[in-house]
Amino acid sequence: MSSTLVELEHISKSYGSKLIIDDLSLTIHENEFVTLLGPSGCGKTTTLRIIGGFEMPDSGRVLFEGRDITNTPPNHRNLNTVFQKYALFPNMTIAENIAFGLRISKKSKQYIDDKIKYALKLVNMEDFADRSVDSISGGQQQRVAIARAIVNEPKLLLLDEPLGALDLKLRQEMQYELIRLKNELGITFIYVTHDQEEALTMSDTVVVMNQGYIQQMGTPESIYNEPENAFVAAFIGDSNIIPGFMVQDKLVDILGVRFDCVDSGFGTNTPVDVVIRPEDVILGKPGEGRMDGRVTHIIFKGVHYEMEVMAGGFEWLVQSTVGHPVGEEVSISVDPFNIQIMNKPASEDEEAIKLDE
């Protein structure tokens, strides 16, 4: 991996008595597309605002290229932000908006004009230079906000749910645009979103956050395929999270039935949570799989059918391109590679359930 750009060291932040970020440390490399992903209130936006300089951490340090910038005001940081509500200046034209940062850094008129042209071309808005902010659509405002940020050639671009206000089609288009921009410009992106699909589509690294903690960090594939805990599994895509126990290495007991798997190192007879993605559940004729069940719900989702199958006392969520009518007897099997084992969280609730059993 290339060299380190941003380091967060033991950042904590609270508002009043509410702890937003709890001892968070994170390293971001140059030219990386990092997404902070989590539900609202998980601390992702606050983390971004601390990097941007709009919030001060209660404790901890922010390093930028090895230099401590914790107390540096936003206007002296070599980074730019694309805000959630775009925050274009309504009293200026599109071109004046884009020129704002360059005028402040006292660039020459020629340089600024060239840069405006270049930035508008980059976001496919060449004909809009002299339009007013109010006269363009939300998607166009978003493009201008991005153009306004990148003309300053920051090392780091912060994006705070920039696509949140756009409709689905436009959002998907903009996702590709952002990936293209990032590759063309070679700057580091830190992107905040609560949309897991957006995170998986665009990022090199996904940081899943909840309640001020980093829950898991890794490539989109590893986050999706190997969630480390139930929160990540449930938050990223749909999943079946089933209590089970590890009989021995590579053998897990799910709902009283033994399944082969590929995980080891959990010990013997250890209670675990088992994650199986709905698209990894294979339905067959009764008796042909590991366990039998009955289809209780089916809906057509376009690409696939989504079914619920009652088997072994658990309602399995199943996605398949082949639909089975409600009431049909089916069997369930799972490829050992698609069974993901997680440690049970050591919480009191879990203890209580165990005692009951």
Partner 1 sequence: MKKHSVLKKVYMAVIILFLYAPILTLMVLSFNEGRTMGKWTGFSLHWYEDMFADEDIMDALKNTVIIALVSAVVSTVIGTLFCLALPRLNSKMRSVFLALNNIPLLNADIVTGLSLMLMFVAFGITLSMGTVILAHITFCIPYVVLSVRPKVRQLGMTHYEAALDLGATPWVAFFKVVLPELRSGIFSGFLMAFTMSVDDFIVTHFTRGAGINTLSTMIYGQVRIGIRPTVYALSTIVFVVVFILLIASNVISGKSATVKARRKAES
Q: Nearest approach, Cβ of 89 to partner 1 (angstroms)?
A: 5
Q: By CB under 8 A, tell whether 111 contacts partner 1.
A: no
Instruction: Report the distance separating Cα 174 and Cα 123, nearest Å.
Output: 10
Q: Nearest approach, Cβ of 215 to partner 1 (angstroms)?
A: 28
Residues in binding contact with partner 1, number by CB under 8 A: 28
> Segment 44-83, which members bind partner 1 (CB under 8 A)?
52-54, 73-75, 80-81, 83
Considering the complex, state which of residue 152 and residue 240 has its C-beta at the smaller distance from partner 1.
Answer: 152
Q: By CB under 8 A, tell whether 314 contacts partner 1.
A: no
Beta-sheet strand order (sheet of 251-254): 257-260, 251-254, 240-248, 270-276, 340-343
Considering the complex, state which of residue 26 and residue 88 has its C-beta at the smaller distance from partner 1.
Answer: 88
Considering the complex, state which of residue 141 and residue 216 has its C-beta at the smaller distance from partner 1.
Answer: 141
Which amino acid does the sequence have at 202?
A: M
Considering the complex, state which of residue 82 and residue 178 has its C-beta at the smaller distance from partner 1.
Answer: 82
Q: By CB under 8 A, tell whether 170 contacts partner 1.
A: no
Q: Nearest approach, Cβ of 65 to partner 1 (angstroms)?
A: 18
Considering the complex, state which of residue 21 and residue 157 has its C-beta at the smaller distance from partner 1.
Answer: 157
Q: Which of 22, 65, 72, 87 binds partner 1 (CB under 8 A)?
A: 87
Q: Which of 19, 63, 129, 136 binds partner 1 (CB under 8 A)?
A: 136
Considering the complex, state which of residue 140 and residue 215 has its C-beta at the smaller distance from partner 1.
Answer: 140
Which residue ranges make up the site for partner 1 (CB under 8 A)?
Answer: 52-54, 73-75, 80-81, 83-85, 87-91, 100-101, 104-105, 132, 134-137, 148-149, 152
